[in-house]
Amino acid sequence: MMESKLSFSNPRKVDILLATYNGERYLAEQIESLLKQTHPDIHLLIRDDASIDNTPLIIESFLSKFPDRITFFQARERQGVKANFSQLMQASTSSYLMFSDQDDVWKPNKVEKSLSCMIAMENKYGELPLLVHSDLTVVDESLNLLDPSFWHYTYLKSPHSSSLNKLLTQNVVTGCTIMINRLMNELARPIPHEAFMHDWWLALIASAFGQIGVIHEATLYYRQHSTNTLGAQKFFNFCNIKKKLHKWRQADEKKFQQAFIFFHRYQQLLSLSQQKILKDFLMLAHLSWMERKKTIYRHGFFKQGWVRNLADFFLG
C-alpha cells in the first residue's frame, strides 16, 4: 500500500525515513516531533514492517491530516529493520535523507542543524558521499533525563573518530542521528543482510569513500525502554558483564561478515591501502592469538576506551 506521490523537488528538501514495527506506544509522539521541525521542506517516508498492533492505524491517521507531507508503505511480511530502511532509501527522491526510529523525540531544530552541517561539508569537499551525525540525550520511557550525552553514557570518548580501521572494529555513528546526501544513498544501497546494522554500514561507506561530519550536541531525545532493538547501555556496568561476555564473540563474527561483504562489494573502488586494511582485518579470525595482537597493533584496530580494548585483548 502506498499513499501520496513521490516527486523530485528543490535541492534543500529532506526526506525523513521512518521504519516502524509494532511501535504504537510512542509512535504518535515521534511523528509529531518530525512534523514540527523548523526546516520547512521535509517529507516523511514511513514503511511499516507488517506490524500486528495499531501502528498502521496511527500512521494512517497522520496521513489523512498531512497527505502532502507523508508517504506510507505497508509491507505484507516482516523483513527486519535493515531491509526496512533499505527499501525506504530506494524510495527516496530527495537530495538529503535522515533516519528516524519510531520511539524517540526529535528536537525542533534537528533537521536544520544537520542540513547546515551537511551544506558546510559540501562547500568544503564538493561532490562526495557525505554523512552527518550527532550526540543524543538519553531519556527513560517518560522522557525523564538519564544522561544529557549518549556519548558520555556509553563511554564513547572520540565520536568524531572516522578512520576505516577504527570503524571496522567499532561503530560510533547512531542511526537516528544520521543525515546523508544522495551520493551516499546511491552508493550504500541495498543494505546487505550481512551488515551489522544500517548505521554501521553507512559509516563504513562514508569513511572509505567520502567524509563524516559531527555535530557536537544532542539533536534528539533517545528513549530507553524494554523493547528497544538496540538501546543505549552503559558499557562499564557490572550487571551487564555476563551478557556482554556471551555476546562478544557473536559480535566479532558479525563484524567479520560485514567486512567481508563490504570488501567484495566495493573492492574495485577501494584504494590499495584500504584493501590491505580490510584483508588484514578479515585475517584476524584465522590468526594465532599472538599474530592477531600484532595485526591489531599494526593497523590500530582498537575500540574506544581501555575497558573495551582490555576485554578484546583477553577474549580475542
* pLDDT tens, N- to C-terminus, the chain (316 residues): 444 444 444 669 999 999 999 999 999 999 999 999 999 999 999 999 999 999 999 999 999 999 999 999 999 999 999 999 999 999 999 999 999 999 999 999 999 999 999 999 999 999 999 999 999 999 999 999 999 999 999 888 767 778 999 999 999 999 999 999 999 999 999 999 999 999 999 999 999 999 999 999 999 999 997 766 445 555 455 555 556 555 556 667 899 999 999 999 999 999 999 999 999 999 988 877 677 777 776 766 666 654 554 555 555 5
Number of folded domains in the chain? 2
Let me know if residue 233 belongs to a domain.
no
Let me know if residue 280 belongs to a domain.
yes
CATH number of the domain residue 217 falls in: 3.90.550.10
Instruction: Identify the domain boundary among 191, 223, 255.
Output: 223
Please indicate, yes or no, whether residues 204 and 249 belong to a single structural domain of this protein. Answer: no
Let me know if residue 230 belongs to a domain.
no
* Model pTM score: 0.88
Please indicate, yes or no, whether residues 309 and 284 belong to a single structural domain of this protein. Answer: yes
Let me know if residue 126 belongs to a domain.
yes
Q: How far apart are CA 140 and CA 40, in angstroms?
A: 29
Host domain of residue 275: 238-315
Please indicate, yes or no, whether residues 122 and 265 belong to a single structural domain of this protein. Answer: no
Please indicate, yes or no, whether residues 8 and 60 belong to a single structural domain of this protein. Answer: yes
Let me know if residue 232 belongs to a domain.
no
